[in-house]
Amino acid sequence: LRATVEMLAAEKVRAGFTPDAARRAALAELGGVESIKERVRDVRAGAVLDTLGQDVRYAIRLLRRYPLFALTAALSLAVGIGANTAVFTIGHSLLRFSPVAVSEPDRLVDFGRSFDGLPIGFNPGSYPDYLDIRRRTTTLDHVYAHPLFPKDMTVESEASNERVVGDVVTTNYFAALGARASIGRLFAPDESDAQGASPFAVLSHRYWVRSFKADPSIVGQTIRVNRYPVTVIGVTPEGFQGTTVVAVDMWVPMSMVTFVTGAVPAQLDARHAGWVVMGARLKPGASVQQAVADLANIDHALRQEYPGQENPQPFRLLSASPMADKIPLAAAALLLLGAVAFVLLI
């Protein structure tokens, strides 16, 4: 640029300009050296990074000048991002059905007694209902049951004594989900659910790693669940938690329900006591609509056979989902997702 200015100024001097006037005329003709420099800088490689570097250095100087503001801004961003991440993670788990280590989850269904007057969701059913449906269905395989909510249990072993979250399931539960053990084995469908018949336990992979240091020799050992001795027969695959959003530490068979949960034996025979969530896998070639009709036929037959009981709500069957029987919770999750989306937008 200096050479160009000097050449233009020399031409002006030869044309009769004084040296000072020639230089001013040359600069005016170029349009300003500084503006040309800025235009060149804007198009050169790395200009964006250079500008970003300038902005970062300027921001750092400001933050060092106002440390209280810097700390407040950082904490606000951290809380906002953390809350959004947590809620979106929960919402994804609740509303998108993609269970880990479960075979063909699209063929799983959940069912129970309908809510009184509501067209959505369902209530838990009774254990006799479960047994009748399991015997009579023509469209469902491996009809299983477990309590509506997991249970707090105390586990005593050589490695630890602690409180865990456990679930009580019928022995065909893992077969229905198509799950396979990472070590040992899982409950077999032909094992008995009669009280006290199958004193076994299956550990979650996470609990096995956390409390037993991933020691494979735990299989075959005896532990005490709520002071009741049971044998550990296997460990589920990593990430497996069935079809629920609750991360369970341990599964015990329905044959132990009275020992580990405090349920009374009469509860197993009470047809009016709704306390189990039921599920199954559709048989090959069967559809959800056919299963709904099958369940309606079973319900009609049960009403004829047991006319003396209170008029129960009809059965309702839905495709499996962690929210199938928790519609109010699903609505709350959607509302919460909308709220955090608005916060994220802000």
Mean pLDDT across the chain? 86
* Residue 203 pLDDT level (bands cut at 50, 70, 90): very high
pLDDT of residue 291: 96
pLDDT of residue 118: 64
Q: What is the mean pLDDT of residues 233-248?
A: 89
Distance CA 6, CA 10 (A): 6
The conformation of residue 129, written as its DSSP 8-state character, comes to H
Q: What is the mean pLDDT of residues 257-279?
A: 83
Q: What is the mean pLDDT of residues 192-201?
A: 89
Strand positions, DSSP E, the chain: 108-114, 122-123, 140-147, 151-156, 161-169, 183-184, 200-203, 222-225, 228-235, 250-253, 276-282, 315-319
Give me the percent of the chain exceeding a pLDDT of 90: 45
Give me the percent of the chain exceeding a pLDDT of 70: 92
Structure tokens at 273: 């006591």
* Residue 178 pLDDT level (bands cut at 50, 70, 90): very high
User: pTM, whole model, 2 decimals?
Assistant: 0.69
Q: What is the mean pLDDT of residues 270-275?
A: 86
Q: Would you say residue 245 has pLDDT above 70?
A: yes
Q: What is the mean pLDDT of residues 59-88?
A: 88
- Residue among 320, 333, 329, 316 at smallest CA distance from 124: 316
pLDDT of residue 92: 67
Q: What is the mean pLDDT of residues 2-28?
A: 88
pLDDT of residue 169: 95
pLDDT of residue 238: 93
Q: Would you say residue 66 has pLDDT above 80?
A: yes
